[in-house]
Chains A and B, each alone.
Chain A
Amino acid sequence: MLPALHKIIRTALIIFPIFVFGWLGYKEIAPSGKVAVVYDMQREMPFISKLYPKDRVSESYQDVDGDFYRTFLSEPVYFDLKPSGQFEKVAVTVKYKNGGAAPVKMGGLINKTAWAFDWRDLPPTGGKWQNRTEFFDFSELIPEGNKYRLGFSASEMQADQVAIGEVKALFVRPELNGKGTANKLLEGFVWRMNKIF
């Protein structure tokens, strides 16, 4: 009885990591071409960094609905996107509240030497929560290692006037379907090799 049970356990122990590897591979390849991640201002996510620098952002507060948010104490405030793999575009959806009269700007770093961002306006919301989606092309953003820096700028704001409730990122690349799958996987492998060496 026990030797047979031992054999079953041993087989399961060997199969389990292979299954996990397959699952990780599937997540990495993302055959649908889309990977969605959310940073809810509370739980840290691997694909989206916290808002920083720390001294320009409040601690995490909870509103009456139980949702978390952080306010800007000063600006600019940044966050990083860390896509795992090669993606073409990212749709960044921000849940924000802007109690000021001037728009808050959100943009991605496009020139590190000149410290230039391609700013997009997030209009005033009159103190109400609003969602806004902006699209960024990774070919136009400047990578810093394996991360891309995005930021918020609100030069006319006062402390606690601007709040961020959620940052959602949808990383997009062409869908993998039967035709050309092997070529795309090979391209991805070559891209990784180029990044490493």
Chain B
Amino acid sequence: MTAKDFSYKVSKDIFVVSSITLAVFGGLEWFEPGFVSYYISFNWLLIIPVIFGTVTVILDKNKPSEK
């Protein structure tokens, strides 16, 4: 595994986990207002998947073709 592959995989994992976390915490917040937002800012929960989604796309484009 090259350093580029490693960065891509880690970035993708962060994107996937933070997206799932955002969806789950969003659901919990809808179910019980304040459960999440009283302690954690949803701005941060939203920013993390956006940043790592963008980084993943950029790293994916720069990856050498596997074909």
Contacts and interface: CB of A to CB of B under 8 A. Distances in A.
B13 A10 contact: yes
B6 A46 contact: no
A16 B40 CA distance: 14
Interface in A6-32: 6, 9-10, 13-14, 16-17, 20-21, 24, 27-28
B38 A2 contact: no
Q: Is the interface of B mostly helix, strand, loop or mixed?
A: helix
Contacts, number: 54
Contacts of A20: 21, 40
Given A20-B40, A24-B35, A196-B31, A3 B1 contact: yes
A9 B13 contact: yes
Interface residues of A, number: 23
Q: Is the interface of A mostly helix, strand, loop or mixed?
A: helix
B36 A6 contact: no
Given A2-B1, A5-B6, A47-B38, A84 B32 contact: yes
A13 B33 CA distance: 25
A97 to B, nearest CB: 29
A30 to B, nearest CB: 12
Contact of B35 (A6, A16, A28, A196): A28
Contacts of B21: 17, 20
B63 interface: no
Interface string B8-26: 0110011001001100110
A46 B38 contact: yes
A9 B34 contact: no
A2 B3 contact: yes
A192 interface: yes
B37 interface: yes
Given A13-B13, A27-B38, 14 more contacts: A6-B6, A6-B13, A14-B17, A16-B17, A17-B17, A17-B20, A24-B36, A24-B39, A27-B39, A46-B38, A47-B38, A84-B32, A84-B33, A146-B34
